[in-house]
Chains A and B, each alone.
Chain A
Amino acid sequence: MSDSAPTTQDERVLPEHPPVTDWLHDFDHTDPRWTDNPFPIWDDIRSASPVVHTKRFQGCYLPTSYEAVKQIAHDTEHFSSRRVVVRDERPEVQRNAAPPITSDPPEHKPAKQLLLPPFTPDAMKRLEPRVRAICNELIDEFIADGGCDAAARYTKHIPVRAICHMLGIPEKDGDLFVRWIHMILELGIKNEVMLKQAVGEMTEYFAGHIEARKQRPTDDLISTLMNAKDKSGQPLEDSHVLGSLRLLLIAGIDTTWSAIGASLWHLAKTPADRERLVKEPRLMPAAVEELLRAYSPVTMAREVMKETTIAGCPMKPGNMVLLSFPAANRDPAVFPDADKVMIDRQNNPHAAFGLGIHRCVGSNLARMEMTVALEEWLKRIPDFRLDPAGRVAWSEGTVRGPRQLPILFG
């Protein structure tokens, strides 16, 4: 749990979930065993059936084969993105919730086109020096200590500071964002009050920044969105700008925090891979893709809109789909030795950033941040391991990564 977690008194509005005893007919992605180690659970489910169903969450399917996940991700006729998190409750669908991630065709494409140019690989190259500096500023703070909680002191801060830099808002506001995201993506799965509170606070925060830029335009991403025109040449409504800003924050922070953290966790407990990456830095691009595959942080959701059949499973409207890209990436039908991390894996068409029209708009940013964060860490701390006296804690729900990662150096 994040150290900036809200007070506990209003954390649990809905009843606690009973433990899962039958993963094939009653799965639950908030069960502590899923949180700690989901891989054997997915393997067991996949070998029994590529798509399973639970009555929890008011009805939800779970595809675990790459093929089933791909089919659903590509099928915008039967599956909607209007709700992208599987929760106990189904909050009312908001217009302009977080375009384009919550948009379906035909609104999706124009909303996405607006966001793509600032996130191309070339644009990320321009941001890279700032990210390298952020990493080194963070390492400076703990390198003399002989160890640290790498999740709290390092991985957590890199994406949030980078996105603040892009948006043109103070990097010091990062802690506020981390708190909102924890409320929306973790606590908010079972607590609608907390979800609404966080979305409300975030919207108010950005409304202030939009107002300020109406008086005094800037050259950051917030102004870029404010100056963007829709298909008919009109400026975007404020609600669209706000929705996209909410998306960039929510999607851009704990996702990459998780990916960097899981990568450091792997390297801390796998000396052979760590030493090889130090000796052969040219392996980094392949290693980053493999770590993305093996420890994909992001599980998305869809809502069934029209009855259809996927991998032999009839899917009925009104149910959600837990769209597990992480489980797809562990499917041995596509990835030989899927449960092994091979940092020089050659054929790796992983789906960590999704498949189809909703491919993560920030994938180039995430890759750059992961690469830089690992490179700078390995340069300055080439020898490190998990602290046997500490405990690694993983986040619950939609985005999986270490939230507590005690590491010793040297």
Chain B
Amino acid sequence: MSGKLRVRVDQDKCQGHARCKQLAPELFDLDEYGNAHEHGDGTVPAGLEDKAWLAKSNCPEIAIEVIEE
């Protein structure tokens, strides 16, 4: 894997399953309704790349994008 990763939650697709928050609490936050958005600008700190991919592959709504920069 070369560059850095960024995660992004598609707000139109997220239905608040909260799987991402459970698997990668460092990368996602939940709002007062329990819907998810990426933490900060979505940059994935070094060492948390696997968690980013895990969050994506467990989202039942396919709402998470992992962008390789």
Given the known A-B contacts A121-B30, A350-B60, A364-B34, are A285 and B15 also in contact in the complex, defined by CB atoms under 8 Å? no
How distant is the Cα of A180 from the Cα of B21 in the complex, in angstroms? 35
The range of chain B's interface size is: 10 to 19
Given the known A-B contacts A120-B34, A285-B22, are A359 and B17 also in contact in the complex, defined by CB atoms under 8 Å? yes
Pairwise interchain contact A120-B30, C-beta atoms closer than 8 A: yes
Pairwise interchain contact B59-A349, C-beta atoms closer than 8 A: yes
Cβ-neighbour of A363 out of B18, B57, B62 (below 8 A): B18
B16 interfacial by beta-carbon distance below 8 Å: yes
Pairwise interchain contact B16-A347, C-beta atoms closer than 8 A: no
Given the known A-B contacts A119-B34, A120-B30, are A347 and B57 also in contact in the complex, defined by CB atoms under 8 Å? yes
Cβ-neighbour of B33 out of A113, A285, A363 (below 8 A): A113
Q: How many residues of A contact B (CB 8 A)?
A: 22
Contacts of A357 in B (CB 8 A): 15
How distant is the Cα of A113 from the Cα of B32 in the complex, in angstroms? 10
Which of A120, A348, A350, A353 counts the most chain B CB atoms within 10 A? A120
Q: Which of A88-126 contact B (CB under 8 A)?
A: 113, 116-117, 119-122
Per-residue CB contact flags for chain B residues 2-41 toward chain A (1 = under 8 Å, else 0) read 0000000000000111110111000000101110000000
Pairwise interchain contact B33-A120, C-beta atoms closer than 8 A: yes
Q: Which of A214-272 contact B (CB under 8 A)?
A: none
Q: Which of B46-69 contact A (CB under 8 A)?
A: 54, 57-62
Q: How far is the CB of A323 from chain B (nearest CB, A)?
A: 14
How distant is the Cα of A349 from the Cα of B55 in the complex, in angstroms? 9
A346 interfacial by beta-carbon distance below 8 Å: yes
Chain B contacts to A: CB under 8 angstroms: 15-19, 21-23, 30, 32-34, 54, 57-62
Chain A contacts to B: CB under 8 angstroms: 113, 116-117, 119-122, 285, 289, 346-351, 353, 355-357, 359, 363-364
